[in-house]
Amino acid sequence: MDRCDVLTTLRKHRISSTEQRRRILAEIHSLDGTFTVASLKESGSLERIDEATIFRTVALFLERGVVRSVGDSERGQVFEKNCEHNPAHGHFRCTVCGTWSCLPPFSGEESGLLFTMLPDEYAAETVSVVFQGVCPRCFGGRETSGRRAFLPEK
């Protein structure tokens, strides 16, 4: 799978290149899903960088648009890479295991529809959609049709 180049990304977002930033960004680019500062710290490639440095670097990446924030979890803010390899999509937060799952990307029609909910006088830059409930793993052996119980009555 294609990945953005670390140096090109840093340059594009006007972030000066340091070894630690390159290593943290390479790890972020290698992930397809969401991450937290704690989960980055646990990944083998970053174990020798202290958590405060990872935290500050991710905060800088957020400010410059290299990553986007998805929401909050018990383990801190949840992020994901913000590049052409990760088009806008909704998320599902499991209230049982706390996992954040990425849902399929929005179609052009769906993003258009989301923005129609916004009154004209607001200038939105991003939109986020988060479903909460029980993820497939936590459903265990339960019947798939049981999921409908969580949807509002039509």
Asked if 135 interacts with Zn ion (CB under 5 A), we say yes
Q: What are the angstrom distances between the C-alpha of 86 and each of 38, 103, 106?
A: 21, 11, 11
Q: At what angle do helices 51-63 and 19-30 cross, to 10 degrees?
A: 70
Kindly state the smallest distance separating residue 146's Cβ from Zn ion, in Å: 14
Contact 100, 70 (CB under 8 A): yes
* Stretch of 110-118, 122-130, 131-139, 146-154 lying at the interface with Zn ion (CB under 5 A): 131-139
Judged by beta carbon, residue 148 or residue 154, the one nearer Zn ion is: 148
Kindly state the smallest distance separating residue 104's Cβ from Zn ion, in Å: 10
Judged by beta carbon, residue 50 or residue 65, the one nearer Zn ion is: 65
Asked if 149 interacts with Zn ion (CB under 5 A), we say no
Binding-site residue total for Zn ion (CB under 5 A)?
10
Q: What is the DSSP letter of 99?
A: -
Contact 24, 58 (CB under 8 A): yes
Asked if 26 interacts with Zn ion (CB under 5 A), we say no
The tokens of 57 are what?
Answer: 């670097």
Q: Which of 53, 102, 110, 131 binds Zn ion (CB under 5 A)?
A: 102
d(CA 38, CA 47): 10
Contact 132, 141 (CB under 8 A): no
Asked if 94 interacts with Zn ion (CB under 5 A), we say yes
Asked if 80 interacts with Zn ion (CB under 5 A), we say yes
The tokens of 27 are what?
Answer: 């790890």
> By the criterion CB under 5 A, which residues form the site for Zn ion?
4, 80, 83, 85, 94, 96-97, 102, 135, 138
